């Protein structure tokens, strides 16, 4: 099994570890300390040795941070994790803080004395983050102070840095050679007048060099730093243990490899100006540049947008990965429908799903720990079942099943909400509203230039009519055998990044009633040019329209749908989608699963 079910949270250790942290804060003459969920690469995913937030507080969510003072310790989380954080921290030691509604600076102004010294590790915070915090604290007398990491001082058995192997990613699947990518980005640097760009994000480096790694669970990326020069040369900096194992293709044609211990010194030898992304560059690197009189030029990581806009080869490959994954899910669902309520648990579900994905022999990892939340556990949007939380699926439950696979030709992610026995009317009505929002995004045609924030409300509209909503974004970007969460594109109120052809996004509205049930329905989509419509306005046609192509093909459970709530257009979309499921997936199924699919994907 890729997934384990051990309990990762230790809230009982929160108070004694907090006491130790406060002791070293006092020795360092600091009044406060920030504990982010971040590593030196500033990506979303971190290795075990960088799980400082979880180690200190017990909170294991994938986003959040803590702020500790002499008398207070706040754990800041967004709407996805507010129930989870209460279950995982010692309430006598830590206080959950609703973020971003409560701003860190405002909290600090009340928690720290005037003139207080707020310590932070400059390798674990971005330049933008600290600049914004400093601006917000202006006039308070509170000063952010860069300092060596205090949590590391009190973590005696902290895991060592990962040294996973780096492997070559096939050019045929990437659709473009590393040399071609480097040449294109070097031209971008020259046009902007930048002599070099510093890259810290592991997935950017993996994409640029057509390599993959094994340093982060569920994400095939290497821990590395890189410098891209304006003549297309690249210097990559990796753990010394990896240097002798690098594939020849990784260090050919203008790419040289060095130990990562030399990275900080190497940046001080660059010529000005040097491009750095304020959203991902550690403060420590900006400080090193400025001390060496090298001008940092703040601009987006040059890999981010090209990586997000997939090549034709990447899109073709990921289609194949989704057909394979869809067949596996249909095999699982055939098994699931044969189980009587009260006879299986959430762990049984996760185990059987992974077994189905493994059966084709192409699964390299799961793309994230599978979410299988039944009843009240389904109301936790990012629930992870453990031996302690494992629950038997009972009659009347809803099961939120969200998971995906890492295949060489693609990264998959799909959510289906499933009934266990006879489900109530409130659940079916809410499910139908979520489905209406998911269909609305799937059917959407929209002008070039719109961003995720411009279309997010479309998915929420059916829920809003019933005063319901969900506290997460509608969709995130997805890589191709890279990270299942990939920027810069999102379908979210917070996203101002324009959508472009080739971008892959999730479409996953939901609804969560705390203590009772959860609902989420998710497919992945790829942005495509929309074909012109007969009778469309000529000006609109000239500007162009975009639309979405659906990548996942697994039936949506018709037993949970209130047909009387669907419009004819929505019902037509659902029937066409289910017809595509039958045509695309049936050839890959066992006879029993093919029979199940015929019934599950019948017209509504």
At the top level of CATH, the class of 167-307 is: alpha beta
Parts of the chain with a pLDDT under 50: none
CB 518 within 8 A of CB 381: yes
Tokens, residue 147: 């300092």
How confident is the model over 450-462, as pLDDT tens digits?
Answer: 999 999 999 999 9
Cα distance between residue 248 and residue 175, in whole Å:
20
Can you say whether the dihedral through the CA atoms of 354, 360, 366, 367 is positive or negative?
negative
Of residues 184, 216, 179, 218, the one with CA closest to residue 201 = 216
Contact, 84 vs 41, CB < 8 A?
Answer: no
Q: Is 240 left (phi over 0), alpha (psi -120 to 50) or beta?
A: alpha
Token digits of residue 298: 């703040």
**Predicted TM-score (pTM) of this structure:** 0.95
Tell me if domain 11-154 and domain 167-307 are identical in fold. yes
Look at residues 224, 255, 247, 252 and name the one whose alpha carbon lies nearest to residue 169.
247
Closest CA relative to residue 105, chosen from 132, 72, 78: 132
Three-state SS at 297: strand
Tokens representing 274 are 């040097």
309-600, CATH topology level = Creatine Amidinohydrolase (3.90.230)
Q: How much is the pLDDT for 433? A: 98
The pLDDT assigned to 543 comes to: 67
Task: Give the pLDDT of residue 121.
Answer: 98
- The Cα 86–Cα 96 span in angstroms is 7
Closest CA to 127 of 318, 316, 303, 275: 275
3-state SS, residue 479: coil
- Rounded to whole angstroms, the Cα distance separating 391 from 404 reads 22
Burial 274-283 (b: 16+ CB within 10 A, else e): bbbbbbbbbb
The answer to whether the beta carbons of residues 126 and 201 sit under 8 Å apart is: no
- Assign domain 11-154 to a CATH class: alpha beta
Q: Do 205 and 349 form a contact (C-beta atoms < 8 A)?
A: no
- Rounded CA separation 200/40 (Å): 8
Q: Are strands 73-77 and 475-477 parallel, antiparallel or unpaired?
A: unpaired
The confidence score (pLDDT) of residue 539 equals 59
Torsion sign, CA atoms 149, 153, 159, 163 = positive
Q: How is residue 241 annotated by DSSP?
A: G
Q: Which two tokens stand for residue 574?
A: 């659902």
Compute the distance between CA of residue 151 and CA of residue 25 in angstroms, rounded to an integer.
10
Are 443 and 417 within 8 A, CB to CB? no
pLDDT digits (tens, 9 = 90+) for 216-269: 999 999 999 999 999 999 999 999 999 988 988 788 889 999 999 999 999 999
Structural domain spans, the chain: 11-154, 167-307, 309-600
Residue-level pLDDT at 484: 97
Label residue 575 exposed, middle or buried (CB < 10 Å: 0-12, 13-18, 19+): middle
| Tokens encoding 89 | 């921290």
């Amino acid at each position: 099994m890729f997934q384990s079910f051990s309990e990762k949270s230790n809230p009982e250790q929160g108070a004694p570890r907090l006491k130790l942290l406060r002791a070293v804060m006092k020795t360092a003459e600091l009044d406060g300390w920030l504990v982010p969920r971040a590593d030196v690469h500033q990506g979303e995913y971190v290795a075990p040795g960088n799980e400082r937030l979880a180690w200190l507080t017990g909170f294991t969510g994938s986003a959040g941070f803590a702020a500790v003072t002499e008398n207070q310790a706040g754990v800041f989380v967004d709407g996805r994790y507010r129930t989870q954080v209460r279950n995982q921290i010692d309430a006598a030691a830590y206080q959950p803080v609703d973020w971003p509604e409560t701003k860190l600076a405002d909290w600090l102004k009340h928690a720290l004395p005037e003139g207080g010294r707020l310590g932070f590790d400059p390798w674990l915070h971005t330049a933008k983050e600290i600049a914004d915090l400093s601006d917000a604290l202006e006039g308070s007398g509170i000063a952010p102070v860069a300092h060596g990491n205090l949590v590391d001082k009190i973590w005696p058995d902290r895991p060592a840095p990962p040294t996973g192997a780096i492997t070559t990613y096939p050019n045929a699947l990437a659709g473009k050679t590393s040399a071609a990518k480097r040449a294109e980005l070097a031209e971008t640097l020259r046009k902007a007048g930048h002599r070099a760009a510093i890259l810290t994000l592991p997935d950017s480096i993996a994409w640029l060099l057509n390599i993959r790694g094994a340093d982060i669970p569920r994400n095939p990326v290497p821990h590395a730093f890189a410098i891209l020069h304006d003549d297309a040369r690249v210097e990559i900096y990796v753990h010394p243990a990896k240097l002798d194992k690098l594939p020849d293709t990784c260090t050919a044609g203008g790419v040289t490899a060095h130990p990562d211990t030399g990275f900080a010194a190497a940046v001080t030898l660059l010529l000005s100006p040097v491009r750095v992304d304020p959203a991902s560059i550690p403060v420590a690197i900006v400080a090193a540049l400025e001390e060496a009189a090298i001008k940092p030029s703040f601009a987006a990581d040059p890999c981010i947008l090209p990586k997000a806009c997939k090549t034709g080869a990447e899109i073709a490959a990921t289609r194949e990965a989704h057909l394979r994954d869809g067949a596996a899910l249909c095999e699982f669902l055939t098994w699931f429908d044969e189980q009587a309520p009260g006879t299986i648990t959430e762990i049984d579900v996760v185990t059987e799903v992974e077994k189905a994905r493994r059966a084709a022999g192409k699964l390299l990892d799961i793309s994230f720990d599978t979410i299988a939340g039944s009843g009240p556990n389904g109301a936790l949007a990012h629930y992870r079942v453990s031996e302690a939380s494992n629950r038997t699926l009972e009659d009347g439950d809803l099961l939120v099943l969200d998971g995906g696979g890492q295949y060489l030709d693609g990264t998959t992610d799909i959510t289906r909400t499933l009934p266990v026995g006879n489900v109530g009317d409130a659940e079916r009505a809410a499910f139908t509203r979520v489905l209406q929002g998911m269909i609305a995004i799937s059917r959407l045609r929209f002008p070039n230039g719109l961003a995720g924030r411009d279309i997010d409300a479309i998915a929420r509209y059916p829920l809003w009519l019933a005063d319901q909503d969900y506290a997460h974004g509608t969709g995130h970007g997805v890589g191709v055998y890279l990270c299942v969460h990939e920027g810069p594109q999102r379908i979210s109120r917070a996203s101002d990044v324009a959508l472009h052809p080739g971008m892959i996004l999730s479409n996953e509205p939901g609804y969560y009633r705390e203590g009772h049930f959860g609902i989420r329905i998710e497919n992945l989509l790829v942005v495509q040019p929309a074909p012109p419509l007969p009778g469309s306005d000529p000006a609109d046609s000239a500007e162009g329209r975009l639309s979405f192509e659906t990548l996942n093909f697994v039936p949506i459970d018709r037993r949970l749908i209130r047909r009387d709530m669907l419009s004819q257009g929505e019902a037509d979309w659902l029937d066409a989608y289910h017809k595509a499921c039958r045509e695309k997936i049936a050839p890959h199924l066992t006879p029993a699963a093919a029979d199940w699919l015929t019934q599950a994907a019948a017209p509504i």
